Amino acid sequence: MTEIVRIENLKKSFGELAVLTGIDMTVDAGETVVLLGSSGSGKSTLLRCVNFMEIPTEGQVFIHGERVGDQRNGKMHYRERDLSALRTRIGMVFQHFNLFPHMTVLQNVMEGQVTVLKRARGEAEDKARSQLDRVGLADKADEYPARLSGGQKQRVAIARALAMDPDVMLFDEVTSALDPELVGEVLKTMRQLAEDGMTMIVVTHELGFAYHVANRVLFLNEGKIFEQGEPHQVLKAPSTTRMREFLEGHSLFKLPD
């Protein structure tokens, strides 16, 4: 298996608050890894450390086996230019979509390709249209984001990230801001991506998605990976009390099977 992301002893503190207290994980090509955990467990922070939206306080991140940053006097140093280049290879989708409101859907999906990757406009447009087609929104290319539903916005955001040809996609609670009836279309798009072989790290509360799509589930608790394994094992037969409590909290109001 080709390793895409490796994280070694990653720690992150915000001032006095230690959010991540030592994370080791590896994500291989084509894998879908779901991060679970209650709020404040550090799962979003971990995700944001992968593409350095947050700079880790300690530890190292390797993308394709290549260490990010330079080590000097035992401390990691990161150059903004290197991080920008790295981020072009790591797609990220946010809870609140963050589409560019002054651009059409097509322009949103072309923007990074043209401004950052310096692709020719024609090439970028073809790429954008094919990615919009992939998320089922080819007919919305000329609309402005304000005229789309939440689910459509999120699929445009996915297309925008895909258009950069990323090695790995990061999903940060991408269905949490959606109306319940719009969650499905976004999850379906993500499932299709996973089936196409995209490498994905997904922070979500959707246990069904974790169960059906993930290759591996990591449960974060108090800044550490508390439990991990294949979804049917971790979600059906958790080995820790904390994980059991977390799952019970989630399924408290589920309809009986």
Partner 1 sequence: MQHSWDFATIIENWPVLWVGLKGTVFIFLVTVIFGLGGGLVVGMGRYSRGRLLRWPATVFVEVFRNTPVLVQIIWFYYAFPILTGIEVDPFLAAVLGISLNTMAFSAEIYRAGIQSIDPGQWEAGKAIGMSYGQTLRRIILPVAIKRILPALTNRGIEVFKMSTLASVVAYVETLNQAKLIADLNFNPIEAYTAVAVIFFVVLYPVVQATYVLERMMSRSD
How many Cα atoms within 13 Å fall on the side-chain side of residue 1?
12
Examine residue 118 and tell whether it contacts partner 1 (CB under 8 A). no
For partner 1, which is the closer residue by CB, 94 or 211?
A: 94
Per-residue interface string for the shown chain with partner 1, residues 43-82, x marking contact by CB under 8 A: --------x-x--------------------------xx-
Q: Which stretch binds partner 1 (CB under 8 A): 6-14, 107-115, 132-140, 180-188?
A: 107-115
Q: Are 218 and 240 in contact (CB under 8 A)?
A: no
Taking the C-alpha atoms of residue 20 and residue 45, their distance in angstroms, rounded to an integer, is: 8
Examine residue 111 and tell whether it contacts partner 1 (CB under 8 A). yes
Report, in Å, the least distance between residue 171 CB and partner 1. 12
Element (H, E) at 127: helix 121-134
Candidate list 2, 9, 71, 84; residue touching partner 1; CB under 8 A: 84
Report, in Å, the least distance between residue 200 CB and partner 1. 15
Q: Which stretch binds partner 1 (CB under 8 A): 60-68, 156-164, 191-199, 204-212?
A: 156-164
For partner 1, which is the closer residue by CB, 147 or 244?
A: 147
Examine residue 115 and tell whether it contacts partner 1 (CB under 8 A). yes
Placement of tokens 């990061």 in the chain: 170
Query: Edge-to-edge strand order for the sheet containing 224-229?
Result: 90-93, 168-172, 200-203, 32-36, 216-221, 224-229
Count, residues in the chain: 257
Q: Are 100 and 107 in contact (CB under 8 A)?
A: yes
Count residues binding partner 1 (CB under 8 A).
Answer: 30
Examine residue 112 and tell whether it contacts partner 1 (CB under 8 A). yes
Q: State phi, psi for 121 to the nearest 5 degrees.
A: -60, -40
Taking the C-alpha atoms of residue 155 and residue 39, their distance in angstroms, rounded to an integer, is: 25
For partner 1, which is the closer residue by CB, 96 or 129?
A: 96
Per-residue interface string for the shown chain with partner 1, residues 190-219, x marking contact by CB under 8 A: ------------------------------
Taking the C-alpha atoms of residue 204 and residue 124, their distance in angstroms, rounded to an integer, is: 31
Q: Are 151 and 190 in contact (CB under 8 A)?
A: no
> What residues make contact with partner 1 under the rule CB under 8 A?
51, 53, 80-81, 84-88, 90-92, 94, 96-102, 111-112, 115-117, 144, 146, 160-161, 164
